[in-house]
Amino acid sequence: MTVSEIRQKYLEFFHARGHVVVPSVSLVPQNDPTTLFTGSGMQPMLPYFLGTPHPLGTRITDSQKAFRSQDIEEVGDNRHTTFFEMLGNWSFGDYFKDEQIPWMFQFLTQELKLDVSKLYISCYKGNDELGIPRDTHSAGLWQGLFGEYGLETKIGEDPERDGMRTGERIFYYGDKKNWWSRAGAPQNMPEGEPGGPDTEMFYDFGTPHDVQFGAVCHVNCDCGRFVEIGNNVFMEYVKKGAKFEKLPKPNVDFGGGLERLAAAVLGKGDVFLIDTMQVLIIELAAVSGKQYDNAQYQKSFRIVADHARAATFMLGDGVIPGNTDQGYVLRRLIRRAIRHLDTLGVGEGTLIKLSERVIAAYKDQYHELDAAHVGIQDALREEEQQFRKTLLVGMKEFEKVAARGGTIEAPAIFNLYTTYGFPIEMTEELAKERGLQISSGATVARLVQEHQEKSRSGAAQKFAGGLADHAEQTIRYHTAHHLLLKALQMVLGPEVHQRGSNITSERLRIDFSSPGKMTKEQIAEVEKIVNTKIAESIDVIRTDMKKDEAEKLGAEHEFGATYPDTVSIYSVGPLNSPFSIEFCGGPHVKNTKELGEGGKKFIIKKEEAVAAGIRRIKAVLE
Ligand code: SER
């Protein structure tokens, strides 16, 4: 069974159970300043858990493009990838555990024909302090299903301490493992965030345990023997103060990594062996003359394959390599891939070849890849050339350090890493070649860890701040963003379209296609139009309608996005004579006058180039 066939089977299975199949949204969240990338299928669904009706009903399914940058350092093992496809099905206040668990069991055992004896389950242990009970209902349902296969299915607890006893197949874990919210464990959730207990499914690949990961092996052990292939979240709580309240209706949020499911179907504990990844590995083996099975090179094979795929998808969604936000992550992926291509002894141009394989493998499902084909290749070429120049500068710095002889100390290694983009393993390799000692890996690792922790806690703050305290201001900026795009089209021409956006509670940012720098007069004119529309107190209206109807109305699209048949549209002003009209999931203010509350005015703070033909504006309400 190929990746495409598994994806198809899943969507058909849930379609047959009353779900509407929707296309994936962009990897770059459009109206969510709390995160750089779409990291799970549920992210675009958040409003619907909290009660907003979904335009297509209460049962939805899809295969969502997802990217988790926190996994970059993990790539190289048998199961981590930064980019992945997440199969998802949702119940918005419709069915619950009694349907979801048997369906999943049926899908895994009958549709995918996985070996039942290799399936393991985890359930939520409960937390008395928070008043959330143990999920005995889910555990009981699973027990019954395994029982039908005549399999002994005992329920264990704390296997991380006691190990897995004979006959145990279902295990209770606590807040860290079997509770799901965007912020993680219940204790980390900000006010107003929804979450709930989950029950996860694991596949046993039977590899030997590695004591490096703990004395005993268990389903959540990191040694790679058990791989999580899916997660049913029963999203029925919302955080209120330090406690939890029930949401008006309970929801189901299933997410399953397609790559891992495909590996389980293949019966091989390595996601790089599935067909869509194998084409990349085979290409790499051909151009490098090296073997994937060679332990010396396997990690580089995996890193290059993962990063090339992720970079291709990002470029397909309009991300531009740069020094901040999404662009920075993309740049890091491309650079790291190039470094590992060097390890494999492969020269310039291979990334482009790999991206072609990615596009060929995925374009039937993700049409945007084909549409952006030429742009993806140009960007990869340009970025590779630029990085090779940087490497030359970095090499000069390395030579200076090396000329001092003796041991290369941790701060110098760290400086090469942060200032010159020199990966640490590269400095290590170079030092070895020159017969130089290098400072203990531990010290460098600590510096790097501190560096990463700083950036992570930055991200965590962004999360808490964006979501909890400043939601209203962010919503105002979101509406201002719509006004701005329309004003830009009026002043610069109708060919102006949005190419990226980022909204926080402090400002809005828009990237748009436009040939040249704006004049002072044009900037002033755009500001005037937006401020006039704020002063006119216009209603902002949401309408759900058929996609082709919305297109006929000339509603603005997001670059490269594919939309479901029924979409929601936001218009500033009535639908028959709107000032602005866009495909958009919201949220927005009710009336433009809210943007001007407290005498605030719309002001453009900055207008600059980000790439050929793409300009960026930062604007505020002050
Ligand atoms: N939100 C859950 C996850 O990402 C299930 O979709 O694992």
Fill in the amino acid letter for 272: F
Q: How many domains does the chain have?
A: 3
Ligand 1 atom 3: residue of nearest CA: 255
Q: Which of 231, 234, 252 to mutate to test the pocket of ligand 1 (most atoms within 8 A of CB)?
A: 231
Cα–Cα nearest to 55, from 566, 546, 583, 550: 566
Q: Which of 199, 253, 260 to mutate to test the pocket of ligand 1 (most atoms within 8 A of CB)?
A: 253
Q: What is the CATH number of the domain that holds 196?
A: 3.30.930.10
- Are 107 and 223 contained in the same domain? yes
Residues with CB under 6 A from ligand 1: 40-42, 88, 180, 231, 233, 253-255
- Are 17 and 128 contained in the same domain? yes
User: Is the pLDDT confidence value at 249 over 60?
Assistant: yes
Q: Read off the pLDDT of residues 150-202 as tens digits, 9 standing for 90 and up.
A: 998 999 998 988 899 999 999 999 999 999 998 899 999 989 899 999 999 99
Ligand 1 atom 6: residue of nearest CA: 255
Q: Read off the pLDDT of residues 197-229 as tens digits, 9 standing for 90 and up.
A: 999 999 999 999 999 999 999 999 999 999 999
Longest dimension (CA), the chain: 78
Q: Read off the pLDDT of residues 141-158 as tens digits, 9 standing for 90 and up.
A: 999 999 999 998 999 998
User: Is the pLDDT confidence value at 453 over 60?
Assistant: no
Distance CA 70, CA 67 (A): 9
- Are 574 and 451 contained in the same domain? no
For residue 67, the surrounding DSSP H or E stretch is strand 59-67
**Ligand 1 mean position, distance from CA 336 (Å):** 28
- Are 71 and 86 contained in the same domain? yes
- Are 390 and 477 contained in the same domain? no
Number of residues that make up the chain? 622
Which atom number of ligand 1 is nearest to the Cα of residue 182? 1
User: Is the pLDDT confidence value at 68 over 80?
Assistant: yes
Pair type for strands 540-546 and 566-572: antiparallel
Q: Is the pTM of this model over 0.85?
A: no
**Ligand 1 mean position, distance from CA 76 (Å):** 23
Burial of 27 (0-12, 13-18, 19+ CB in 10 A): buried
Ligand 1 atom 1: residue of nearest CA: 42
Encoded tokens for 5 = 């066939």
**Ligand 1 mean position, distance from CA 89 (Å):** 10
**Ligand 1 mean position, distance from CA 548 (Å):** 31
DSSP 130-195: TTB---HHHHHHHHHHHHHTT---EEEE-HHHH-PPTTEEEEEE-HHHHEEETTSSGGGPPTT-EE
- Are 373 and 411 contained in the same domain? yes
User: Is the pLDDT confidence value at 415 over 80?
Assistant: yes
**Ligand 1 mean position, distance from CA 600 (Å):** 40
- Are 232 and 322 contained in the same domain? no
- Are 167 and 47 contained in the same domain? yes
**Ligand 1 mean position, distance from CA 251 (Å):** 13
Distance, first Cα to last Cα, the chain: 57
Domain hosting 483: range is 467-621
Domain endpoint, select from 246, 266, 286: 266
Distance CA 258, CA 112 (A): 12
User: Is the pLDDT confidence value at 493 over 50?
Assistant: yes
Ligand 1 atom 2: residue of nearest CA: 255
Q: Identify the pLDDT of residue 457.
A: 54
Domain endpoint, select from 431, 462, 493: 462
- Are 89 and 212 contained in the same domain? yes
Distance CA 150, CA 166 (A): 15
- Range with lowest mean pLDDT among 167-171, 228-232, 556-560: 556-560
Distance CA 435, CA 408 (A): 11
Q: Identify the pLDDT of residue 560.
A: 61
**Ligand 1 mean position, distance from CA 299 (Å):** 27
**Ligand 1 mean position, distance from CA 250 (Å):** 16
Q: Identify the pLDDT of residue 611.
A: 78
Domain endpoint, select from 217, 238, 266: 266
Distance CA 443, CA 446 (A): 5
Ligand 1 atom 4: residue of nearest CA: 40
Which atom number of ligand 1 is nearest to the Cα of residue 41? 6
Cα–Cα nearest to 164, from 229, 80, 223: 223
Encoded tokens for 554 = 């000339």
What separation in angstroms does the CA of 253 have from each of 50, 100, 101, 170, 469?
Answer: 13, 10, 12, 20, 26
**Ligand 1 mean position, distance from CA 45 (Å):** 11
Which atom number of ligand 1 is nearest to the Cα of residue 255? 6
- Are 16 and 148 contained in the same domain? yes
Q: What is the CATH number of the domain that holds 517?
A: 3.30.980.10
- Determine contact, residues 58/94, Cβ cutoff 8 Å: yes
- Range with top average pLDDT, 11-20, 33-42, 470-479: 11-20
In the 8-state DSSP scheme, what is residue 256?
A: E
**Ligand 1 mean position, distance from CA 254 (Å):** 6
- Are 501 and 383 contained in the same domain? no
- Are 208 and 181 contained in the same domain? yes
What separation in angstroms does the CA of 441 have from each of 182, 404, 409, 437?
Answer: 33, 20, 10, 11
Q: Which of 63, 180, 202 to mutate to test the pocket of ligand 1 (most atoms within 8 A of CB)?
A: 180
Q: Read off the pLDDT of residues 362-380 as tens digits, 9 standing for 90 and up.
A: 999 999 999 999 999 999 9
**Ligand 1 mean position, distance from CA 152 (Å):** 28
Q: Which of 40, 60, 260 to mutate to test the pocket of ligand 1 (most atoms within 8 A of CB)?
A: 40
DSSP 11-23: HHHHHTTTPEE-P
Distance CA 490, CA 173 (A): 57
Ligand 1 atom 5: residue of nearest CA: 255
Q: Identify the pLDDT of residue 435.
A: 86
